[in-house]
Structure 1
Amino acid sequence: MLVEEIMKEHVITLTPDDTIETALKLLHQHHIRHIPIIDKERAVIGIVSDRDVRDASPSVLEEDTGQEELQHPIHSIMTYPVTTVHPLDFVEETASIFYEQEIACVPVTRDDKLVGIVTEKDMLYTLIQLTGTHVQSSQIEVKVINKPGILPQVTQVFGKRKVNISSILIYPYKPDAKYKIVVVRIQTMNPLPTVEDLEEAGYEVLWPKKPESSYEL
């Protein structure tokens, strides 16, 4: 999935000479948390967050406090330089930028001009879509040997029941690097027949666990 598929194209912006008061009003008016600062060519030269503006605003607890702080130019509190991404960058790579740099949004630029923005909320919603949790489905986790060609072998078992697969994720099996976990979401509320097929094919299903057989006292 590409950044252009999830970015917001309508971006509220400010110029470096706009006031902190203007930023404060825009943040409240549009219910946003970040505002890119751009120059006349729409190049991103900084960014301000709601926290930046809040920290620069006069305290309501102080008596006789003036409003001079709110009239300061926004470039006095903006963060720069700014990490940006391209519309054709992969969402997965952008997610790593959020994690590594501990940021909550990234402006999207093309030819050094602002064309969109991606926030942490956009990233979380995209994760929900990629994992298939936004539709009714059941999750099956299968422990498999870490070798080439194993994924087609596993998915072939799912084809036996002709169930739709919403998503497939793979992650390492921490106790033993020789294995990995294949997480498959299928569009059925009863995954047990598929679980049985997997176990009959020799795979170890970690989730869901089959109910234990009842026993007599």
Structure 2
Amino acid sequence: MLVEELMNRNMITLPPKATINEALQLLEKHKIRHITIVDEAMQVLGIVSDRDVRDASPSTFLDTSDFHILNKEIQTIMTSPVITIHPMDFVEEIAYIFYDKEIACLPVVSQNKLVGVVTEKDMLYKLIQLTGTHEQSSLIEVKVPDLPGQLPKVASVFVNHNVNIVSVLLYPYKDPDYKILVFRVKTLNPMPIINDLRDAGYTLLWPNNIMEPKK
């Protein structure tokens, strides 16, 4: 998936000479956590978070004369330079930037101009969509040898039951000779599939592979 499919094109921006108070009002009005600072050509100059604004704002317990701080220019507290991404970057790759740099917002730049933003909340929501956890479904984890052709073999069991697969994930296993296939399937009664997988000799990690004792 590309960044252009995920990014928010309704950007909230401010010029560098805007005041801290203006930023504070925008953050509260739009219920956002970041404002990108741009020049007249929409080139990214910096970024300001709600924490930056909060830290720069005077305490309500101080004398009212201290509130002149809110009239300072936003460029005095913005973070610059800014890490930016491109609309044609892969979402999977920018996820690592969020993690590695410990940031919560990335401006999207094309031809030197701001065209969108992506936040960590956007990334989290997309992960929810990709894994299908927002749909009514069942989860099945299957341990398979790390060999070619395992995915279609396991998936054929779901096909035999005429059940749609919502998502498939591949995880490493503690033993490098194996992988974990995680299926989310569109059924609330996965037991017939689970039984067939067990009968085919597959080890299930969820539901666990312990069979119920015979009566």
- Per the normalisation by structure 1, the TM-score is 0.94
- Aligned counterparts of 1:101 and 1:156: Cα–Cα separation in 2: 41
Count the aligned residue pairs: 214
The residue aligned with 1:188 is: 187
CA contact (8 A) 1:107 1:117 kept: yes
Q: Does 1:204 align with 2:195?
A: no
Partner-residue secondary structure (3-state), 2:14: coil
Trace 1:102-117 onto structure 2 (pairs within 5 A): 102-117=102-117
- Aligned counterparts of 2:11 and 2:102: Cα–Cα separation in 1: 21
1:43-64 deviation digits (Å, cap 9, x = unpaired): 1110000000010111112234
The residue aligned with 2:173 is: 173
Partner-residue secondary structure (3-state), 1:115: strand
* CA distance 1:26–1:64, change in 2 (3 Å): closer
Trace 1:101-140 onto structure 2 (pairs within 5 A): 101-140=101-140
- Aligned counterparts of 2:151 and 2:80: Cα–Cα separation in 1: 44
The alpha-carbon deviation at position 211 of structure 1 amounts to 6.2
CA contact (8 A) 1:9 1:116 kept: yes
Range 196-205 or range 18-27, more displaced: 196-205
- Aligned counterparts of 1:170 and 1:82: Cα–Cα separation in 2: 33
The alpha-carbon deviation at position 5 of structure 1 amounts to 1.4
The residue aligned with 1:149 is: 149
Partner-residue secondary structure (3-state), 1:198: helix
Identity score, percent: 59
RMSD: 1.3
- Aligned counterparts of 1:142 and 1:161: Cα–Cα separation in 2: 17
1:120-142 deviation digits (Å, cap 9, x = unpaired): 11111101000011111000000
- Per the normalisation by structure 2, the TM-score is 0.95
The residue aligned with 2:31 is: 31
Partner-residue secondary structure (3-state), 1:66: helix
CA contact (8 A) 1:173 1:180 kept: yes
Partner-residue secondary structure (3-state), 1:45: strand
